[in-house]
Copies of this chain bind each other. A is one copy, B any other.
């Protein structure tokens, strides 16, 4: 078994682009852009809870970072630096870490992120990613800014990742080419960084849909102390995929509220070549209340909103 330092050198030491001092000292050293605010987010990913033992390590490496990049997107921040804590069993290590680090750095390179530090130790397989991004002062997107009258929008085609998971778990069988799309959404999610940056001057609140749309919209409603009315027929999904969108998770599309006009959002969607769909609006009702209405205007609100690892 190679030493901790050899593992780090081999798999996790790469040239940095905008870092004063990277992996290898008691701490890394960065010089944030003068006047910027910093956005920081941490995620733990644990085998058996967040991923299965037989998950492809390269896909996991990508996803491990991508889900944190998505948090930066949801805050309207530019992702810049990341640290990675790893615990891995004594064996097998070589091939597995090789694939994992390839996926991780593929994502880091795509979004211009420097890996600046970490810790590699022995234990049940788990990862802890802490990401840092830069935001313009006062412009970070929060969950608390939604106001009555705002439209509620969602990017992309959420629900796809949960469908892919259902297929992998043998609960459904997806036909090609839908299967390929859903597996890509599950294994190689594309965080919406460009959208998040564009929304800084357009959105009143934003969140990424990682726990399912109902749960994540619920967070916006609670923190903004407002209510929402969702038009089910307007959701960019139908049938089982719609159920996945509402209560599933793992999607990493952005859900946002905005007071600006539809055409302005449509222009942004065209610019980014990314569907942006208006699915409802913020209304004056009991804070936190979330009503789903069908094509006939009938209330079809379900009892349960989402996913909780401790539920």
Closest approach, in angstroms, between the C-beta of A210 and any C-beta of chain B?
Answer: 9
Residue ranges of A at the interface with B (Cβ–Cβ < 8 Å) = 1-5, 7, 20-21, 24-32, 34-35, 37-44, 46-50, 71-72, 74-75, 77, 81, 83-87, 90, 116-124, 126, 128, 130-133, 135, 137, 140, 142-144, 206-208, 223, 308-311
CB pair B34 A35 closer than 8 Å = yes
Closest approach, in angstroms, between the C-beta of A243 and any C-beta of chain B?
Answer: 22
CB pair A29 B135 closer than 8 Å = yes
Q: A7-B310, A308-B5 are in contact. Are A128 and B42 (CB under 8 A)?
A: yes
CB pair A122 B40 closer than 8 Å = no
Closest approach, in angstroms, between the C-beta of A172 and any C-beta of chain B?
Answer: 26
CB pair B132 A48 closer than 8 Å = no
User: Which residues of B are found within 8 Å of A122, using beta-carbon distances?
Assistant: 46, 49, 309-310
Would you mind naming 27 contact pairs between A and B with Cβ atoms under 8 Å apart?
Answer: A24-B143, A25-B143, A26-B72, A26-B207, A27-B72, A27-B74, A27-B77, A28-B39, A29-B140, A32-B32, A34-B35, A42-B117, A42-B118, A42-B119, A43-B119, A44-B119, A44-B123, A46-B87, A46-B121, A46-B122, A46-B123, A85-B130, A87-B126, A121-B309, A122-B309, A128-B128, A130-B130
